[in-house]
Amino acid sequence: MGQAGPGGKAGPPAIARGGRFVVHKPMPSPDRLRIALAQLNPTVGAIAANLALVRAARAEAAAAGADLVVYPELVVTGYPPEDLVLRPALQNAAEAGVQALAAETADGGPALLVTSPWREDGKLYNAVLLLDGGRIVATRYKHDLPNYGVFDEKRVFAAGPLAGPMAFRGVRLGVLICEDMWTPEVAECLAETGAEILVVPNGSPFEADKPEVRLNLAIARVVETSLPLIYLNQVGGQDELVFDGGSFVVNADRSLALQQPQFETSLVVTDWSRQGNGWVCAPMPLPTPRVRLENIYHAMMLGLRDYVNKNRFPGVVLGLSGGIDSAISAAVAVDALGAERVHCVMMPSKFTTGESLGDAEICAKLLGVRYDSIAIEPAVQAFTGMLAPHFAGRAPDITEENLQSRVRGVTLMALSNKFGHMVLTTGNKSEMSTGYATLYGDMCGGYSVLKDVYKTTVFDLSRWRNAHKPPGALGPDGPVMPDNVIVKPPTAELRENQKDQNSLPPYDQLDFILEHLVEKEKSVDEIVALGQPRDVVRRVQNLLLVAEYKRRQAPPGVKITSRNFGRDRRYPITNGFRDVP
């Protein structure tokens, strides 16, 4: 790359043609610009509905006098479309939708920086298109395709060439698409070829500590280029991914000019003025930062709400056991969907204590949900009697425990089949990691809000929700579960006096080891060096690896951490490797 001129910019802009840059003379630039940031919640594959969102945002932006509306990544098809984007019918529909949008810009209203799959020369690209004056003015393709974690874009898209900025009404917009911002190359190219404002449409999924990472990367690009940057992210749940919005603008002096809310759709019109040699976005009031637990809770709410609503379930049904996992799952469901769409069922066995019965009933009353009790003992006795001749001479063991869990799964699925509500599973990441869950039992269901939440975080979230009602939540003010649910020792109640800690290490120790094994990919020796007993670490690692076959059959759940069980972590089921002697 050549050297940038003063202020990080380098003379006249260029357009990429055949991999080379052709310099042209700049158009006269205005002194003011209004750019609308449309933080939307599209649905994958729902092209007509997504185009309606695009048009509604344009109408709102036009009423506010905007010159340009910017949209999140792949807004026309929704993101990530995965292999759906390979269907020619979808490609045709998306391109036809973009052409229709382009024609509509002949009305003299705002131009659109819209995003869609786009074909050229037999290749499919992740594209951004500038629509203005009734036509497609410019097209740019995503250069840096992510192929790690939850992303596998190289599977479906071709990488676009490095390209110069787009000329928009005398202003040179340097467009980077999502991952293009995470490395310096694309921003450097845009700065050297005359960009004046960097614009980054995104489909960036939520992780608990990711908002700070995004901002730091944006500031790094601003420092390197001396250009202001618009970061526009989408909102919404798509299977296990949640997109948290939080779009922002960073001025060239590294100041944060504005930030849109997290977990909410939003349209903000920003005012830009030319000052000296560059453009400056007028600052707007910034939202109050949220604490980590609040962000996690909001991600769980949004992930569940969109999964249920976009898949057109009338509501959810779940087992309410009197334990903490089912209590917080029910609270999230009520906050996301409303109490009238949540059906809680206590399914007592002969091992269910009066304490659990009372705690479950109190939870249901606090949440205001429909609450039923269906005793499972008749079904358990029927199964044990049916199997008795075949189990003769063998003492009761975990088989009989799992029978109870599976009877509960069958019961919930019967209610789901009859009334249409999706079964919400309640297992947490600690259990899913170690296989402390029953296939076709408590793992039975359509979705999980705790799948990527360790047990220690479940406790923290429960305390937090009892003390705070999140903005936008549909549930009650005040506590959503009795304190006893939080403080009593966790138990599956599948045998007399059973406690989780009879089968697993203490949860604070277990979760520490699991985080280092799963998220950080540490070896046994490395975790032992952090002060953990070798025998415990080896046991936890073995439990983690042998439970892979269970996790492969688990329902999807909200991604919270940097490495969830699902798209992030794809281990073989048949696996003879252990990193210990």
Residue where the block lists tokens 């992210």: 233
* CATH fold match for the domains 31-275 and 293-500: no
From the list 164, 220, 157, the residue with the least C-alpha distance to 23 is 164
- Distance, CA of 256 to CA of 267 (rounded, Å): 18
pLDDT at 2: 35
Given phi > 0 = left and psi -120 to 50 = alpha, else beta, which region is 572? beta
**Which of 9, 25, 60, 73 is flagged as catalytic?**
73
Determine the pLDDT at residue 192.
Answer: 94
> Collapsing DSSP states into helix, strand and coil, what is residue 259?
strand
The single residue of 153, 178, 310, 550 carrying the catalytic annotation is 178
Pair of tokens at residue 271: 């005012």
Distance CA 321, CA 28 (A): 69
pLDDT value at position 574? 87
HEC assignment per residue over 76-103: CCCCCCHHHHHCHHHHHHHHHHHHHHHH
Residue 510 pLDDT: 95
State phi, psi for 263 to the nearest 5 degrees.
65, 20
Residue 277: strand, helix, or coil: coil
List, in order, residues 6 or more apart from 325 with CB less than 8 Å away.
426, 427, 428, 450, 458, 490
548 labelled catalytic: no
According to the model, what pLDDT value does residue 29 have?
A: 54
The pLDDT of residue 316 = 98
For the chain, domain boundaries: 31-275, 293-500
| Single-letter amino acid code for the residue at 89 | A
Residue with tokens 């080891």: 513
Q: How many Cα neighbours within 13 Å face the side chain of 467?
A: 9
CATH 3.40.50.620 fits 293-500, yes or no: yes
Give the pLDDT confidence score for residue 498 in this predicted structure. 64
Which of the residues 142, 429, 451, 455 is marked catalytic?
142
pLDDT of residue 11: 35
Q: Are 126 and 114 in contact (CB under 8 A)?
A: no
Residue 534 DSSP SS3: helix
DSSP state letter for 68: E
Instruction: Count each helix (H run) and each strand (E run) in the chain, helices first.
Output: 16, 22
Sites in the chain below the pLDDT cut of 70? 1-29, 492-495, 497-500, 580-581
Closest CA to 380 of 346, 350, 410, 407: 407
**According to the model, what pLDDT value does residue 308 have?**
98
Measure CA 356 to chain center: 33
Task: Kindly provide the residue ranges of all beta strands, DSSP E only, lying in 306-390, ordered along the sequence.
Answer: 316-319, 342-346, 370-373
Reply yes or no on whether 189 is catalytic: no
Tokens matching residue 129: 């298109």
pLDDT of residue 580: 64
Q: Is 283 exposed, middle or buried (0-12, 13-18, 19+ CB in 10 A)?
A: middle
* Predicted pLDDT of residue 8: 32
HEC secondary structure over 90-136: HHHHHHHHHHHHHHHHHHCCCEEEEEEEEEECCEEEEEEEEEECCEE
Q: Is 488 exposed, middle or buried (0-12, 13-18, 19+ CB in 10 A)?
A: middle
Q: Are 401 and 351 in contact (CB under 8 A)?
A: no
Distance CA 359, CA 491 (A): 13
Angstrom CA distances, 285 to 32, 198, 261, stand at: 20, 22, 11
Architecture of the domain spanning 31-275:
4-Layer Sandwich (3.60)
The reported pLDDT for the residue numbered 500 is 67
**pLDDT tens digits, residue range 260-316?**
999 999 999 999 999 988 999 999 999 888 889 999 999 999 999 999 999 999 999
pLDDT of residue 10: 34
Catalytic residue flag (residue 178): yes
Q: Where are the alpha helices (DSSP H) in 118-263?
A: 184-192, 210-225
Dihedral sign from CA coordinates of 395, 399, 405, 406: negative
